[in-house]
Chain A
Amino acid sequence: MNEVHNPQGTGSEEYAVMPPIGYTLRAAREARGETLQDVAASLKLTGRQVEALETDRFDLLPGRAFARGFLRNYARHLHLDPAPLLAALDEQAAGDAMDLAPVSNAVGTMPSSGERLRPSSLPVALIAFGLFLVVLAGWYFNWFQQPAPQDEVVAQETLLPPEPTALDSPAAGPDTVSPTVVAGAGDAEGALPAGVAPSVEGSVQGGAVSTTPAAGAAALEEKPAAGAAAGDRLDFRFEREAWFEVRDADGKVLFSGTGREGTAKEVIGKAPFKLVVGNARYVKLEHNGREIDMIPHIRVTVARFKVE
Chain B
Amino acid sequence: MFGFLRSYFSNDLAIDLGTANTLIYVRGKGIVLDEPSVVAIRTEGGPNAKKTIQAVGHAAKQMLGKTPGNITAIRPMKDGVIADFVVTEQMIKQFIKKVHDTRLFSPSPRIIVCVPCGSTQVERRAIRDAALAAGASHVYLIEEPMAAAIGAGLPVADATGSMVVDIGGGTTEVGVISLGGMVYAGSVRVGGDKFDEAIVNYIRRNYGMLIGDTTAENIKKQIGSAFPGSEVREIEVKGRNLAEGIPRSFTISSNEILEALAEPLNQIVSAVKIALEQTPPELGADIADRGMVLTGGGALLRDLDRLLMEETGLPVIVAEEPLTCVARGCGMALEKMDELGSIFASE
Do most interface residues of chain B lie in helix, strand or loop, or is the interface mixed?
loop
Chain A minimum-CB-distance residue to B333: A100
Of B106-114, B206-214, B246-254, B310-318, the one touching chain A = B310-318
Cβ of A101 within 8 Å of any chain B Cβ, yes or no, is yes
Partner of A44, one of B159, B160, B179, B309: B309
- Contact call A100/B318, Cβ cutoff below 8 A: no
Query: How many positions in chain A have a CB within 8 Å of any CB in the partner chain?
Result: 21
Chain A minimum-CB-distance residue to B329: A100
Chain B minimum-CB-distance residue to A71: B317
Cβ of B235 within 8 Å of any chain A Cβ, yes or no, is no
Cβ of A107 within 8 Å of any chain B Cβ, yes or no, is no
- Contact call A100/B157, Cβ cutoff below 8 A: yes
B161 CB → nearest A CB, Å:
10
B272 CB → nearest A CB, Å:
13
A69: chain B residues at CB < 8 Å are 291, 293, 315, 317-319
Query: How many positions in chain B have a CB within 8 Å of any CB in the partner chain?
Result: 35
A299 CB → nearest B CB, Å:
73
Cβ of A119 within 8 Å of any chain B Cβ, yes or no, is no
Cβ of B233 within 8 Å of any chain A Cβ, yes or no, is no
Give A259 to B342 CA distance when docked, in angstroms. Answer: 76
The answer to whether A66 and B157 touch (CB under 8 A), given A98-B150, A101-B180, is: no
Cβ of A7 within 8 Å of any chain B Cβ, yes or no, is no
Chain B minimum-CB-distance residue to A43: B315
B290: chain A residues at CB < 8 Å are 62-63, 66
Give A68 to B313 CA distance when docked, in angstroms. Answer: 20
B203: chain A residues at CB < 8 Å are none
- Contact call A72/B317, Cβ cutoff below 8 A: yes
Partner of B157, one of A64, A70, A72, A103: A103
A99: chain B residues at CB < 8 Å are 155, 157
Partner of B159, one of A64, A65, A95, A102: A102
Q: Give residues in A with beta carbon < 8 Å to B.
A: 43-46, 62-66, 68-70, 72-73, 95, 98-103
Q: Give residues in B with beta carbon < 8 Å to A.
A: 150, 152-160, 179-180, 286, 289-291, 293, 305, 309, 312-320, 332-333, 336, 339-340, 342-343
Instruction: For the complex of A and B, list the 7 residue pairs with the smallest distance between their C-beta atoms, beginning with the closest.
Output: A69-B317, A65-B153, A62-B290, A102-B179, A102-B180, A44-B315, A102-B157
